[in-house]
Amino acid sequence: MHIKHHPVLGKRLSETVTFYFQDQPYTAYRGQTVAAALMANGIKKLGLSRKLLQPRGLFCARGRCCSCYMTVNGEDHVRTCLIKVEEGMKVYPNLEDPEVTNDGHGD
Ligand code: FES
């Protein structure tokens, strides 16, 4: 769901872009963050916690935690609540970190 016309901010979303989550195409609006674009498309599970492998999703939405880490265009551990979606962007969930899972640290 998108708020296309905000009563105070006005019309903010107009130009669409196509991005890929796990190689499936999704539509977003230019200016949205990757995390917001995923939420708007019904994708709430952004990855798994590093040690216990529990589902992670959007938490702080302002770059203060690591809950939204994903792999974006081949770069791991990208905070998707901070970067804007771009045409053709490839996004994958952060599914595990074997080193952390085995060392007794992490969440
Ligand atoms: S949700 Fe906390 S850094 Fe992105």
Phi-psi bin for 73: left (phi > 0), alpha (psi -120 to 50), beta? left
Tell me the β-bridge partners of 94.
Answer: 47
Does residue 68's CB lie within 6 angstroms of at least one atom of ligand 1?
Answer: yes
pLDDT at 2 over 90: no
Ligand 1: residue whose CA is nearest its atom 1: 61
State residue 88's pLDDT score: 97
pLDDT tens-digit profile of 29-83?
998 999 999 999 999 999 988 778 889 999 999 999 989 999 999 998 899 999 9
| Position in ligand 1 atom list of the atom nearest CA 80 | 4
Q: Look at residue 5 in the predicted model and tell me its pLDDT.
A: 78
Q: How far is CA 60 from CA 28, 35, 57, 65, 79, in A?
A: 21, 11, 10, 6, 11
Average pLDDT (13-18) is 89
Query: What's the confidence (pLDDT) of residue 93?
Result: 94
Query: What is the DSSP code (8-state) at residue 98?
Result: H
Given a contact cutoff of 8 angstroms between Cβ atoms, the answer to whether 58 and 46 are in contact is yes
- Read off the pTM: 0.84
What is the distance in A from the centroid of ligand 1 to the CA of 45?
13
Would the CB of 79 count as within 6 Å of ligand 1? yes
Helix (H, G, I), strand (E, B), or coil: what is residue 87? coil
* DSSP three-state, residue 20: strand
In the predicted model, is pLDDT for residue 98 greater than 60?
A: no
